[in-house]
Structure 1
Amino acid sequence: MKKNYLFLCLAVLLFNGVYAQDEAVTSVRKNQFKINMLFPGFVYEHGLSAKNTLYSEATLGAGYRYNSYYDESNVYIFPMITEQFRHYYNLEKRAAKGKRTAYNSGNFIAASASYNFQSISTNSKYGEYSSSVTLGALWGLQRTYKGRFNLELCVGPGINFDKYDTEFVPLANFTLGWVIGK
């Protein structure tokens, strides 16, 4: 009899604990830290209101350039810092459908600003890769699965400014990583 009572108490506690982690969340997290593995980096996302966050990222970026004179292309790597103001617009809709919204799992639109440091992998045939600033408007999605595995994709148009010129650039970011902390 005591074993059955103990088993019932443990089952109720376990069920409540599991249920509490899967509840539908309709607002963003106040503080969220992530580690990106695809392009190594760190992210901090601070909730400003129920649907808005300030996203800060320090990571390595990659670029591609083609040199028509040498008829060759070059991939280069550079450190970068990114700031985004994000608005998550579909948290209630996802929660109503029973989809996961924990850890800011939803779709967003964002205003983005990035500072790209000078390239750490250069090729003299392609000229100097100087530091630059990129401004853009993004649409994206972020999903955090059980085990806090995180996937993020965002795309949009942007403008890149460096000491040589100003140009229109397509922006795309795909990250794989983990949410860390509580």
Structure 2
Amino acid sequence: MKLFSTFLLFLITASVFSQAANDVEKHQFKINMLNPGVEYEVRLATNQTLDFGAGLQFGARGGEGYFDWVFVPAFNAQYRHYYNMKRRIGKGKTISGNSANYIALANTTFINESIIGNTVLSGGYFGYVGPVYGLQRTYPKGFNIGFKIGFGYYYDDFYEGEFGPVLGFSIGWVIRGNRK
């Protein structure tokens, strides 16, 4: 709980001191190819967005003598604060398509049903919530890549939960964005 409170205080402080001249897209719609799905990002305030997504998420686990992999339905949401837009502009780099680095409070919930994979899952849900550091780059013609890393509290409907790493990578296209 202390970790969450500290992170929330950091986001609030960062939003108070953010630069008004650097702004994120009003909204943008993305299609992800690596983990097939869709994403919608909407501006809340200067340099702050809510990002929602739904699609198939890849998961893997292994141990001595086994390696399981699966694609499962996933729903995610992130409260993002983009913090390096002014610096990117100063270096002559674009911020189009929210091309910047961010910190976020992320949550992803997975439905425990195998779509594709070498293992069978039997109902329920699992997921994580926690702070992440990420970056997003949108290139001409809308090509988009994203990366996030962090630490989260993992939960499911079968046991108490535990803390662990969060890692994500996406490749796709921004279909529609609007800075106004």
* Class of the TM-score when normalised by the shorter of the 2 chains: 0.7 to 0.9
Distance in 1 separating the partners of 2:171 and 2:105: 21
- Which residue of the partner structure matches residue 37 of structure 1? 33
Q: 1:48 corresponds to which residue?
A: 44
1:174 and 2:169 are equivalent in the alignment: yes
* Count of equivalent residues: 154
| RMSD of aligned alpha carbons | 1.8
Alpha-carbon distance in 2 for matches of 1:169, 1:122 = 24
Alignment gaps of 5+ in structure 2: 1-20
Give the counterpart of 2:88 among 84, 91, 94: 94
SS in 2 for 1:123: coil
Q: Is the 8 A contact 2:69 2:119 kept in 1?
A: no
Normalising by structure 1, we get a TM-score of 0.78
Percent identity of paired positions between Structure 1 and Structure 2:
36
Instruction: Give the counterpart letter for 1:156 in structure 2.
Output: G
TM-score normalised by the chain length of structure 2: 0.79
Matched residues in 1 for 2:35 and 2:126: separation? 19
Deviation at 1:169, TM superposition (A): 2.4
Kindly provide the CA deviation profile for residues 48-94 of structure 1, in whole angstroms up to 9, marking residues without a partner as x. Answer: 011100000112111122355xx312112111000000000000110
Equivalence map 1:1-182=2 (5 Å)? 26-66=22-62, 68=64, 71-120=65-114, 121=117, 123=119, 128=122, 130-165=124-159, 166-182=161-177
8 Å Cα contact 1:59/1:81 also seen in 2: yes
Question: Whole-Å Cα distance in 1 between the matches of residues 83 and 68 of structure 2?
Answer: 38
Which entry has the higher C-alpha Rg, 1 or 2?
Answer: 1
Spell out, residue by residue over 1:138-161, the C-alpha distance to the aligned partner (whole angstroms, 9 max, x if none): 001000011111011111111111
Q: Distance in 2 between matches of 1:123 and 1:152?
A: 28
Decide whether aligned partners of structure 1 residues 148 and 82 sit closer, same or farther in structure 2, where only a CA change above 3 A counts.
Answer: same
How many Å separate the matches in 1 of 2:168 and 2:51?
Answer: 14
Encode CA deviations 1:7-37: one digit per residue, 9 max, x unaligned. Answer: xxxxxxxxxxxxxxxxxx8210111000001
- Give the AA of the match of 2:55: T
In structure 1, runs of 5+ residues without a counterpart are 1-24
Distance 1:37 1:123 in 2: 22
